Amino acid sequence: MEVNFYELDIIDDVKLKYAVILTKYNDQWIYVKHKERQTWEIPGGRREPHESIEDTARRELYEETGALTYNLSPVCVYSVKRENDDESYGALFCSEVFELGQLPSDSEIGQIKIIQGLPNELTYPAIQPKLYDKGIKKLSIKE
Average pLDDT, the chain: 93
pLDDT at 138: 75
**Mean pLDDT value across residues 44-51:** 96
What phi-psi label fits residue 66: left (phi over 0), alpha (psi between -120 and 50 degrees) or beta? left
**Mean pLDDT value across residues 19-47:** 96
Counted domains in the chain: 1
Find out whether 73 and 94 touch, Cβ atoms under 8 Å. yes
In whole angstroms, what is the distance from residue 108 CA to residue 99 CA? 20
* Collapsed DSSP state (helix, strand, coil) of residue 32: strand
CATH of the domain at 99: 3.90.79.10
**Domain of residue 35, residue span:** 2-142
**Model confidence band, residue 110 (pLDDT cutoffs 50, 70, 90):** very high
pLDDT at 25: 96
- Predicted confidence (pLDDT) at residue 85 exceeds the cutoff of 80: no
pLDDT at 84: 79
